[in-house]
Amino acid sequence: MTERLQNRSESIWTRFPVVFLTALICCILWGSASPAIKIAYQLFRIGPEDTASRIMLAGARFIIAGAMTILFGSLLARKKLVPGRKSWMHIGILAMVQTVGQYYFFFMALANISGVRGSIINASGNFIAILFAAFVFHFEKMTLRKITGCLVGFAGIILIMGGWNALVSGGSMTLAGEGAMIAADLFYGASGCLIKIYSRDENPVTLSGYQFLAGGALLFIIGVLMGGQLHFETASCWGNLLYLGLISAGAYTLWGILMKYNPVSRVSILGFMNPVMGVLLSALFLGESSEAFSLTGLLAIALVSAGIILVNLEHRGARS
């Protein structure tokens, strides 16, 4: 046991430059989801009102992501990842919450709002997860630092949505845009807590891989039954779809390795780069520089990032 712990502590995955660069790669992948999905809508010619094709696209993405996650996880474990009999019910629940629920609303939101706004609002999932963990599932204590982090983060999200007055009056916000992204984040917060509970009895990579696959298949079938279509007119369509699958599978696998060899807080605190990458990549690939680098955009992303750092910051060397 001592030798095993020593080998783990000496692993290359514990060195901060490796941890930081790997976390950065993960955040670039996750941050690229918003622009990649909006580009997919253009490539596949899916309009904002074409719900059926949008659901098909989400389903195809997660069928690929699930297969990739199972493959990557099996290679790392040097054995085929197969869930235990008792885990199938958990996989079914996760598929409905994390993949079907979360990404139905996530894909809807990105058809109706900018990538910059979507990336910043999507960060609310980090704070919602803390609230679920403390007040619904009761496996985490709410501290003053976490409360402050949530308030700072939500302030940035309210700011990008037009401020408090816009939030109260509705302003330029829509249920299909900002409302759908908040709904996606509610599912994200719940699914993160469920994974933490279910992973006590099952490998989290196995859970995620199979729930991606099951949830993706269900979304795809629903999209087909609704009359959706995916037109692969160019090779870019195939490349985009494979990349969408790689975002979830690659980032999740690398993040899982970091979590295995490092304290949770040391890795989680680097998640502040996720919304930052989403904003930068939306500006780069979607031409949304004016919104990304406006005073409102910069202040919003600064507040959200500060909030993520605060809720994940270690206090006196202990996890809280």
Domain ranges of the chain: 15-312
Q: Is-above-0.85 flag for pTM?
A: yes
pLDDT for residue 169 is more than 60 = no
As a whole number of angstroms, the distance between CA 168 and CA 177 comes to 16
Tell me the per-residue pLDDT of 7-38, one tens digit each, with 9 for 90 and over. 544 689 999 899 999 999 999 999 999 999 99
140: pLDDT confidence band, cut at 50, 70 and 90? confident
Which has the closest alpha carbon to 272: 30, 27, 106? 27
Cα distances (angstroms) measured from residue 229 to each of 22, 41, 50, 244 = 36, 12, 9, 18
263: pLDDT confidence band, cut at 50, 70 and 90? confident
Cα end-to-end distance, the chain, whole Å: 27
- 33 near 186, Cβ under 8 Å? no
